Amino acid sequence: MAVSASGGDATINLAAQKQLIRGYGGINHPAWIGDLTAAQRETAFGNGNNQLGFSILRIYIDENKNNWSREVATAKKAKEKGALLFASPWNPPSDMAETFTRNGVANQKRLKYDKYGAYAQHLNDFVTFMKNNGVELYAISVQNEPDYAHTWTWWTPSEMLNFMKNYAGSINCKVIAPESYSYMKNMSDPILNDSQALANMDILGAHLYGTPESSFSYPLFKQKGANKELWMTEVYYPNSNNNSADLWPEALEVSYHIHNAMVLGDFQAYVWWYIRRQYGLMKEDGTISKRGYNMAHFSKFVRPGYVRVDASANPSNGVYISAYKGDNKAVIVAINKNTSAVSQKFTFQNGTGGSVSSWITDGSRNLAAGSSYRVSGNSFTAQLPARSVTTFVTGLS
């Protein structure tokens, strides 16, 4: 295999800390596609061989309380495995909703203006239900995709602001808002610009469907969002084509998208759509897909509580790098989108590593053990195979 020279060294500054990482995961949605099986729960939330190591589970808040029990089994297993859980609603109970004409389209749905308090209590009831069934939620969302609600419930930015300012404070859980479908800042700017609404928002949640990379950063959040968390709470990427989960090199776009969410967006969580789907991280037969292995390069090694540190994000053409530290280890995720291999030098600043282990996913391998390296003079040089993602782990000294 031809090895092309690296265009530049990658520097890992262990002292330049960026965001705290909460984790990686996906949604379980029994109402729409059926529950994960017991074996699939182990694959999703276990962190052994042939497991994804997910540390976040998103669950569905059915508008009908009689259906809430469907969420319990998988939620309990995820919790048992140490995952954080959060929940999102698509619709309020039917007696709290009304139809209206939106932009000339009749029979659209919204929450009745006199039901905001009752809706906050509805969310509290879900928190209580899950807690009574052995599952403490980390957070609860006000609304899934309020700005893309063709078949669910619409919210305008001013309606979301009203709820966040005047009602969200009564919710007995961390609150996620606004979960825009495409990280549209017009949904979240009003919250960030209102001190009372902002006080009631614990996590700014966003989806990244169709969001250009140039919109991943959010200067207003950096300015106003001190002590708030920033989560990417839903996406699939690059598409939802049938049986696309194992296409290569297309699946490499998953790790590249996560890289950009971490490095450009400073997100603390990255949550996929369905955990199990023919285009998902786990195929319908319960086996991990190429897309899933790409996500596992982050989820299995960058564990909750780790911190992203500054690294040369694009040291040469087609090579993308992010780095993290935690548990007295450094983790580097390196993506090579080139059609030939790259020899890549990594140099540590403000700390150093020792023996380096590596895992590789490429056209023929899935999270396979790669070569071992040793840090010498604060550096090591590794081979990045063509069209691959490699995770490196080293103990810090």
Q: How many CB atoms lie within 10 A of CB 343?
A: 13
> With the CA atoms of 162, 165, 169 and 173 taken in that order, what torsion angle do they form, in degrees rounded to the nearest 10?
70
Assess whether the previous peptide bond of 30 is cis (omega < 30° from 0).
no
Cα separation of 334 and 325, whole Å?
Answer: 15
Cα separation of 243 and 236, whole Å?
Answer: 14
Residue 183 sits at φ, ψ, to 5 deg, of 55, 40
Q: What is residue 132's three-state secondary structure?
A: helix
Distances (CA, A) of 117 to 121, 162, 340: 6, 11, 59
For 251-274, the DSSP string reads THHHHHHHHHHHHTT--SEEEEEE
Contact by Cβ (8 Å): 115, 92: yes
Q: Residue 204 is which amino acid?
A: L
- Which are the catalytic amino acids? 145, 234
